[in-house]
Structure 1
């Protein structure tokens, strides 16, 4: 189904401010409307501007008529009571300009009488839907008259129809882990996960996950002078890595209007078949602290990980990270422990479609892993050592780990960007896929804690998402972010 939600100009004006921030809208459906999980699952939000055009906040149109103003994807169908239901549209994007449906130049005029009747029927109430044939005809008309919508539709469909990873393929396993690492960074920084979700397999099996991102259709008005006045305008901190010969580096940036910025750097330096796994490194620049997560895959059937010499050697190397830390002096530098490195024993269901949720698994601090390996609980029947849910009595799950990182309760103390750069590049050249996130802002430690504990999405600032161009890609007319 492709859903069409119709709102009055006043309703549209009341909601747009929230949508720009939350990217989410829940709409009740008429009783009896089919909610089969079929078709595109796109949603078109239409402003009915026929009665009171002056009530609408969009200056682009003042004529009577109906206009498509937003496009989104239906991620959830909700049951409200025994018969009522609703849809949650998330994420959603505002069209670069309203798309007129009525009039001689409107989209409806270019449809056949049959398809026009289906669309009109969906427009009759506050919410309706059209089938695949009507949508295909409507899409052709939209792209013919408004080609700028192609990237919006492509991005939304990529979010709705994620690639299914083949766990028997080395490249897919690597991308699966890197995807989870990238999504982990959005969790610990409270940036929208949708910015890193729309993805297609890159042409090269050795390419980083970020190389396959489908670009977020950022509306130009969100990066104009008024908004960018609050954003950092400097080049990416790791921009020079994209010029290195022996590594492949891709960068994506998320920024909000308070000046808070997350630079996500994805680096590979070895062929995928010889990779040692994935590292997620998160660096909080205001407190000069970073946390590392080394991914380990649990068996898909028994949910066990058999300890080998390679893991023990890797743990030895990770323990040296503690040597980069300074002694805490100020209150915000205190940590629960000296552990800055964690092992994530993760598992994915075979053939499972990716979701916005992180992979299930156990987050285990390195020092705790040492204790476990010296205890009989991890001793196998044949003398080897095993990590599994049954053998590890206590561990952190994704939400608990993210909360500790957000509050600055784990991580190194007093580590510089230069140390981070050296360490991250070293890990990539040793054979790891590295997903590195650097958060910069003007927040004080207290400001950070207040924001983390503030759960109301409506109070969050606007966010833009983009992949910075390399100097070779930029032209004189290319805007600088």
Structure 2
């Protein structure tokens, strides 16, 4: 996929200055700019960017190529873009000469600046490499950073994909956009199943461990990392801040991929003293997209642990806590295993059930439609479930989760997750004091 940006004169000067400065030091560098949102809002976030600037005669030339990533929405109707992997063309290419490769129908679909359609993108890329073959190596390097990570049935990589989804899920439950989570780098080679898979946040490299910015964040981070470091050294974490609230998210693994039983989200709203646990289970593509709970050798034990957690949370809640539509912490998400990971903020489609709903459905005759009356869960037979959007909104608005829950219970659940041979996404939201209407207003750009 291709995008085009036509630089203002001051942007072109700044780009040249930055390029010269960092070329001397041989450092990687980024360049950010803003443009009206509409031409940049559609399609995939990551693009091969053609960077054009005017020459002394006022003619527009493609002078550089780079990787563009759509960032957060800027003020009003603007969109922020960040560019990395910037390469100068040995011989600039007049933009009108490049656009001449387009067919008439493609010209009508061309965006003067912004993301291009698939057909226009392919024509522009092919035209650029035909007219400037020396740019081939740079373009392939950029496309390698833009392309999805395809790993097929590799078990370790599938666990990374689940942890990525759980990390996105934790951010959604807090009501955060967390657009940065679309930025990650795939492992250098195929992952071994006899070792713990890398954490998803570790694939973000140095961005996964931010500096501790103040004493409060340091204490929260040290507490979370202390829980995890007693169980494993394979931990990566990140801090997000939006609209006065702080979300700390940690990924932790310790079990080899071949014996992993999935991923858990342990989400704790510090302000509300509210805990939510989401346990991932995979639908089986080889079995027509169904999940057979009675064939899952460990799930009975896991359900008993969740039931004990629900009972304990109900016992300590008290009558003075906030009211919930469902005050139980334990939930199950069923979703398909992935064979690719894309650079987007899109979650894996899935079905969410409370622990009590899941157990009731196991006794439902409508789900006994497998061979020999086997119980199975699938989109074709489940009468009702929550999807990603609805579940996340209910957690964010305080309609799902415990009340009056201490951090000690959170710590205990972290230990149970590891003992159950599962990867972990641990998230803690602080400073969640605004009314829901005000949070919604700010998210929509009202301040």
Matches within 5 A, 1:345-360: 345-348=334-337, 355-360=344-349
8 A Cα contact 2:243 2:442, kept in partner: no
Gaps in structure 2 of 5+ consecutive residues: 13-30, 72-76, 101-110, 115-120
Aligned to 1:367: 356
Matches within 5 A, 1:251-330: 251-256=236-241, 258-300=243-285, 302-308=288-294, 309-322=297-310, 323-325=312-314, 326-330=316-320
CA shift, 1:458, in A, is 3.4
Give the CA deviation at 1:335. 1.0
Distance 1:420 1:27, change over 3 A: same
Aligned match of 1:4: 4
In the alignment, the residues of structure 1 paired with residue 6 and residue 446 of structure 2 have an alpha-carbon distance, to the nearest angstrom, of 26
1:25 aligns with 2:37: yes
Match of 1:41 in 2: 47
Residue 445 of structure 2 is aligned to residue 458 of structure 1: yes
Aligned position for 1:162: 148
Residue pair 1:276, 1:431 contacting (<8 A) in 2 also? yes
Q: Structure 1 residues 120, 190: CA separation in 2 closer, same or farther (over 3 Å shift)?
A: farther
> Aligned to 2:92, which of 116, 123, 128?
116
Counterparts of 2:406 and 2:260 in 1: how far apart (Å)? Answer: 27
Pair 314,123 (structure 1): closer, same or farther in 2 beyond 3 Å: same
Tell me the distance in 1 between the aligned counterparts of 2:135 and 2:313.
Answer: 58
- Return the offset for 1:378: 2.0
Q: 1:177 to 1:217 in 2, by over 3 A?
A: closer
Matched residue, 1:187: 172
Could you tell me how far apart the structure 2 residues matched to 1:135 and 1:233 are? 51
Query: Does the C-alpha gap of structure 1 residues 458 and 296 become closer, same or farther in structure 2, counting only changes over 3 Å?
Result: same
What residue is the counterpart of 1:392 in the other structure?
A: 382
8 Å CA contact retained: 2:169, 2:347:
yes
Superposition deviation, residue 250 in structure 1: 1.9
Change in CA separation of 1:425 and 1:236 when aligned onto 2, cut-off 3 Å: same
Corresponding residue SS for 2:200: helix
| Closer, same or farther: CA 273–407 of 1 in aligned 2, 3 Å | same
Of 69, 73, 77, 1:73 maps to 69
Distance 1:232 1:427, change over 3 A: closer
Return the offset for 1:425: 2.3
Cα distance in 2 for residues equivalent to 1:135 and 1:417: 60
Judged with a 3 Å threshold, the aligned counterparts in structure 2 of structure 1 residues 237 and 450 are, in CA distance, closer, same or farther, namely farther
The answer to whether the Cα contact below 8 Å between 1:339 and 1:410 also exists between their aligned partners in 2 is yes
Paired residues in the alignment total 385
State whether residues 346 and 362 of structure 1, in contact with CA within 8 Å, keep that contact through their aligned partners in structure 2: yes
Cα distance change on mapping 1:299 and 1:120 into 2, 3 Å: same
Name the structure 2 match of 1:470. none
Given the superposition, is the C-alpha separation of residues 122 and 185 from structure 1 closer, same or farther in structure 2, using an over 3 Å criterion? farther
Does the aligned pair in 1 maintain the 2:367–2:381 contact within 8 Å? yes
Q: For 1:182, what is the secondary structure of its paired residue?
A: helix
Q: Does the 8 A contact of 2:276 with 2:401 survive in 1?
A: yes
Asked whether the equivalents of residues 164 and 354 of structure 1 are also in contact (C-alpha less than 8 Å), the reply is no
**Structure 1 pair 352/241, CA: closer, same or farther in 2 (3 Å)?**
closer
TM-score by length of 2: 0.69
CA distance in 1 between partners of 2:411 and 2:200 (Å): 19
- Measure how far apart 1:90 and its partner are: 7.8
Task: Kindly indicate whether the alpha-carbon contact (under 8 Å) linking 1:207 and 1:248 is maintained by their aligned counterparts in 2.
Answer: no
What is the aligned partner in structure 1 of residue 28 from structure 2? none
Using the TM superposition, give the Cα deviation of residue 427 of structure 1 relative to its aligned residue in structure 2, in angstroms. 1.1
2:74 maps to none
**2:274 and 2:403 in contact (8 A); partners too:** yes
Contact 2:32 2:80 in 1 (8 A): no
1:263 is displaced (CA, Å) by 1.5
C-alpha contact (below 8 Å) 1:43/1:73 kept by paired residues: no
Q: Aligned equivalents of 2:10 and 2:216: distance in 1?
A: 31
1:200 matched to which residue of 2? Answer: 186
Q: Compared with structure 1, are the counterparts of its residues 9 and 457 closer, same or farther at alpha carbon in structure 2 (3 Å cutoff)?
A: farther
Instruction: Please give the root-mean-square deviation of Cα atoms over the aligned residues, in Å.
Output: 4.8
Q: Cα 1:408–1:44, aligned 2, differ >3 Å: closer, same or farther?
A: farther
